[in-house]
Structure formats: structure tokens, C-alpha cells
Amino acid sequence: MTAGSGAPTPERPPRRIVSLVPSLTELLFALGVGDAVVGVTRYCTDPPARVATVAKVGGTKNPDLDAIAALRPDLVVMNAEENRREDFAALSASGFAVLVTEPKTVDDGIRLIASLGAAVGRGELGAYLAAAQQAGVAAVRAATYRRCGVSYFCPIWRKPWMAFNADTYAHDVLRVAGGRNALADRRERYPVVTLEEVAATAPEVVLLPDEPYHFADRDLPALAPLATTPALRHGAVRFVDGKALSWYGLRIADAVGTFARIFAARRPCGDRTVTRAADRFA
């Protein structure tokens, strides 16, 4: 959805872009329009050398609207989950063209590559990059087609423990990779849970991402309530790249491939044993 007057078109691509979505900042540079990106959030870290010289306009949840206005963008890129509705409303009311994205599945993320490419005048390149991601994902789907889903627990926060349900992009990345979300049926998209509740689902794998909460060795003792689950009994606890769970764009195929390899480390269907203890933190 694009709102605001004077919205860019493929025939009249934007010349000044502000991105409030880290993964889409990365994609804009990959689409060859990095020189048009005049503002990004402090969480926009890739590509490092390029974004280092771009003006910072605050965070994803607290952007500096005055700073954005001063940059005179003809397109602001936002995300319905990462950014706030009130900031969208304020920017739109000020007459800025705002492109709002909301991918909830791997396929949504792939389509977004093509649609963003078209929106910034790089339709052909966007279609090419999307096709490449689609091919990579198709290869993973073919490899996991007959594989039993591996039950997993993947917290995104601690104190309190939080995870995600089936209505999220992270869930779909892991689903395509062959994972079965132990908390998929929770009503809240990002439910608060206790580890005792998680233990009752008997997850076979525990994935500990490094963002938004940075899980590390110091957090392993806190998993004690999961001691009787297959995941901990067989050492199937993995530290993983948080960006692979939440950054769409050119990371999609690599992400599902990486997680597919983690899930494939378990035994064939019917044998509930998972990763060898020697592979625990490989």
C-alpha cells in the first residue's frame, strides 16, 4: 500500500528514499538505488559501508519525523509490524508517499522483492532477484517434502520468555525449512510463555537467536525447566542468526536452507531422536 500525494511510479522512480525497515534498506541497496537512500534507522546495519554514511532518523518504533521531513523524501518505506501506525499516519498526513509492507510468509517476502523493485524503478532486477530466491526456496521445499516436521521452541525474548505463533514470518521460514512450531496455535502473535508450558510440548530442537534478544551461553542455565525434553536430552540446542528469522529480501533462501540443515540433523521419521550431542553448538 502506498499513501501520500505525488507517489512515485515505475515511470517516475523515487529520487530520495527514507527506509524505516532494516531488511528493506539492505534490499534497496541490492536493487541498485542506494544512492537515492537519504535516511535510515539506527538499526539499518547492512550493507555496513554504505549505510554508515546515510543520515539516521531514529529507531523503527520512534523515528524522528522532523528529521525525515527535513530530508524531503519522495518515498518512505515502512513495515506494518516493525513500524507504528501513528508514524505512518503522520507521514501520510504530511503528504509523503509511504510504501507499507507486511510479508507474513516466505512467498510474501519473495513477492516483495519484485514489487519493491518495481516501485523504485528496478522492476527487471527485482524480478530477477525474486526468481533467484524462489529457486533456492524451491530446492529446500523439494528436500523437505517427505520429511516429518521437527518440533521446535524458538524464543525471541527472555524475562519474560516470548515466542511467536503461526501468523508470523519467522514461523513460515521455519515451516518451509521443515520445522513444527510448538507454539503455533497460540492466540497472540508473540505470546508470553513459561518454560514449564514449553516443556509440556516436548520440543525436539531449541533455537536461540541473537536478536531481538541476544541469547548466549549465559542463558543456557535458564533452560533447566526443559531438561526432560528431547531437545535438551539430545543436545539439540542451537544458537542461530536472528536476521535469518526476520529479515526478508535476499536472505530468504539462505535462511530456509540453514534451518533445513539444522532440522535434518535429526534421525528419520519414526525415530524421535534429534541432533547428536556432539553437534550441540556446531
Per-residue pLDDT reduced to its tens digit, 41-61:
999 999 999 999 999 999 999
- Among 72, 102, 132, the domain boundary falls at 102
CA angle 79, 162, 205 (to 5 degrees): 105
Residues 77, 176: one domain? no
pLDDT value of position 13: 75
**What total of structural domains would you count in the chain?**
2
Q: Quick check: is 165 in a domain?
A: yes
With bands split at pLDDT 50, 70 and 90, how would you rate the model's confidence at 144?
A: confident
Same domain assignment for residues 90 and 11: yes
In a domain, 113, yes or no: no
Using one digit for the tens of pLDDT, what is the confidence trace for 169-200?
999 999 999 999 999 999 999 999 999 999 99
Question: 14 and 98 share a domain?
Answer: yes
Q: Is residue 44 part of a domain?
A: yes
Rounded to the nearest integer, the mean pLDDT of the chain is: 89
pLDDT above 50: residue 282: no
Domain end marker among 67, 102, 137 = 102
Confidence tier at 272 by pLDDT (50, 70, 90): very low
Residue 145's pLDDT is 74
Whether residue 136 is contained in a domain is answered as no
| CATH number of the domain within which 228 lies | 3.40.50.1980
pLDDT digit string (tens) for 77-116? 999 999 999 999 999 999 999 999 999 999 999 999 999 9
* 153 and 232 inside one domain: yes
Per-residue pLDDT, averaged over 5-24, amounts to 78
Distances (CA, A) of 213 to 18, 221, 239, 254: 26, 16, 12, 22
pLDDT of residue 187: 94
The mean pLDDT of 143-169, rounded to a whole number, is: 91
Instruction: Report the pLDDT value the prediction gives residue 206, as an integer from 0 to 100.
Output: 97
Residue 189 shares a structural domain with residue 78:
no
Model pLDDT, residue 31: 96
pLDDT of 84:
94
In a shared domain, residues 65 and 155: no
Q: Assess whether 191 and 272 both reside in one domain.
A: yes
Measured over all CA atoms, what is the biggest interatomic distance in the chain, rounded to whole angstroms? 61
pTM, full prediction: 0.86
Per-residue b or e along 263-282, where b marks 16 or more CB atoms closer than 10 Å to that residue's CB:
bebbeeeeeeebbeeeeeee
Is residue 1 predicted with pLDDT exceeding 70?
no
260 in a structural domain: yes
Does 143 fall in a domain?
no
Q: What is the pLDDT, as a whole number, of residue 11?
A: 59
Cα three-residue angle 24-264-262, rounded to 5 degrees? 45
Whether the per-residue pLDDT at 242 is higher than 80: the answer is: yes
Mean pLDDT of 137-149: 84
Residue of 28, 22, 6, 21 lying closest to 118 (CA atoms)? 28
Domain span at residue 173?
Answer: 148-279
Q: Does residue 127 sit within a domain?
A: no
CA-CA-CA-CA torsion sign (134, 44, 52, 122):
positive
In a domain, 133, yes or no: no
Of 71, 102, 133, the residue that ends a domain is 102
Q: What is the pLDDT of residue 171?
A: 97
pLDDT at 8 over 70: no
Per-residue confidence at 265, pLDDT binned at 50, 70, 90?
confident
**Model pLDDT, residue 10:** 55
